[in-house]
Structure 1
Amino acid sequence: MTKTYDVAVVGATGTVGEVMLEILEEREFPVGRIFALASKRSAGKRARFRDKSVSVANVADFDFSRVQLALFAAGDAVSRQFAPAAAAAGCVVVDSSAHFRDAEDVPLIVPEVNPQALAGYCRRGIVASPGGPSIQMAMALKPIHEVAEVRRVNVTTYQAVSGSGATGLRELADQSARLLNAQAIKTPAVYTKQIAFNVLAQIDTLEDNGYTREEMALVGETRRILDAPGMQINPTAVQVPVFFGHSEAIHLETRDKLSAVQACRLLADAPGLTVVDTPEAGGYASAVTDAANQDEVFVSRIREDISCENGLNFWVVADNVRRGAALNSVQIAERLIEEYI
């Protein structure tokens, strides 16, 4: 008889939490009992799992000793308050917020990239899932780094509003509808400027060095995931009026020369990556057309950098909510039950 695990999904009514429930069902994760949890504000709502309606309970009232796994998708404040208590109650926490990503005693995991680091979960009973931009970039860099050692990366990310949660989605939808009907938009609440039909050159707050918190997170997380503390990474994070799907223009320099053909083969053979790169109009992947609702990270426009002897350029897209958050957490949980709990 297959062993089952009782699982709590914290943030079950949110953008990522809803997709977590879908993926647990789709991948036939061996769930015994499912507990849908959220803040007091959302308690009493209903979630769906295995064609059944599940009542959403208040996370503040939940006894985490009732479950073996807790998947957190409710933001930094909730993770800060409840994840340590959940781990202390005996369950293993997989957290998709940013709160634990810098903690040296909490492993930061992308299962296709650094599964060996998952053994460190036992130090605090918590595993951190990286941000969506870090996940897709690390997955694309790993096969190149293993063969030719990536020394420097210039990257610009074009990030969908779903990275800001339901409020970002609503703001883009509302502004778009108003502008298309020749109406004035409301004062932006989620973003510093109008996001509809616009591109914003700042995500999150500015640090003392002039980079944003989001950009510096991409630097630190990528180095940790790849175990490459000396890798030089120069990021620019941009908010774009796309609902779902992050895109990245990556320019890298390697120690050893790789041709575009060699790079393409390495990327095509890597787990979780799909290469879409044909020399014709439209022979590339886009966030909306190709990546939305998909599990893969798509790589296109693979070419040698004409300005750098050992340089490569490529374009990477992924669904930031599914691939860049919910799926990664479920894959971590799958690894945990296969190898550790």
Structure 2
Amino acid sequence: MIELKNIDVTFYQKKQQIEAVKNVSLTIEKEDVFGIVGYSGAGKSTLVRVINLLQRPTAGEVIIHNKNILGFSAKELRAQRKKIGMIFQHFNLMKERTIFANVDFSLKYSGLSKEQRKEKIERLLELVGLSEKKDAYPSQLSGGQKQRVAIARALANDPEILLCDEATSALDPKTTIQILDLLKKLNKELGLTIVLITHEMQVVKEICNKVAVMEDGQVIEENDIVSIFSQPKEALTKDFIRTATHIDQALETIIQHPSLTKLSGNEVLVEFSYVGEQTSEPLIAQLYSKYHVVTNILYGNVEILQQVPIGNLIVILSGEETQRDRALEFLKKQGVKIKFLKKNEPKESVIPLHMI
């Protein structure tokens, strides 16, 4: 549905050349919820504005429904932009207008009659859960409610694509989840294709089926959400994921309590990672029944991404070394990834977090 081919965006400021986006190619299928994640300055917001040509690329092609929109006339481009809604971090509502009037403003040139517009606005406000607020003003709404108005306004012209540029960054965690749930609903009920820009992998984890990771204007990694979380390749991707799964935070807490990691001669501190069916198998119990290896679980977490469970455990394994090795080999054969964090040897210590 959306193809970005070899996109470059170069700015010139004070005689300096800034390459905001460098040779980026992405394909976003119909009804994808596609996340683009990266830290500030990575180029992700510039890239998403290329999709509706609010930012024209210096080079490359922007293809929607097999048509390169860079060659569109002004009239064709206006018609194309009506099919692409956009919401932002700061809502951009008109404070002097009611909620009803804010949404109505998007229908100004729709050709609908006053009664048709009224019916449509009421339907949209009901869809986003704000029917009772139609006569209120933005100053009377919470941040989450303002974003719902912005979403209703973005849907006014029946778009096929919704671009979300840091749309939850100004919201508290509970409200963020509510807005993401609404976007999921719109994706399913309206068949919307959603492109979501964020610096938070937690947001990507909640809603996206595919994700691209950007750094310094380039896409450094791209995959479906399960593969990204279970088999990240790039250091930045791993950093994002470990933050989203809270495993680094858990490991740091464990490290700060030496009593938890004071190991005897037959113990090791290990991290297990596993995907899919392994999460429902009693593998840990089998370590004792088959190999007489005792497992002390210090931290455990299971995420459900696109209906696929992904788990992490930090454990102390206790048992004779040969039996431990056999137990770990058994786990490897079951598809469990194993990382040693600490052994009871004088020259070894806990691996620093930045090396994990």
Same fold (TM over 0.5): no
TM-score normalized by structure 2?
A: 0.24
Higher strand share: 2
TM-score normalized by structure 1?
A: 0.25
Structure whose CA Rg is larger:
2
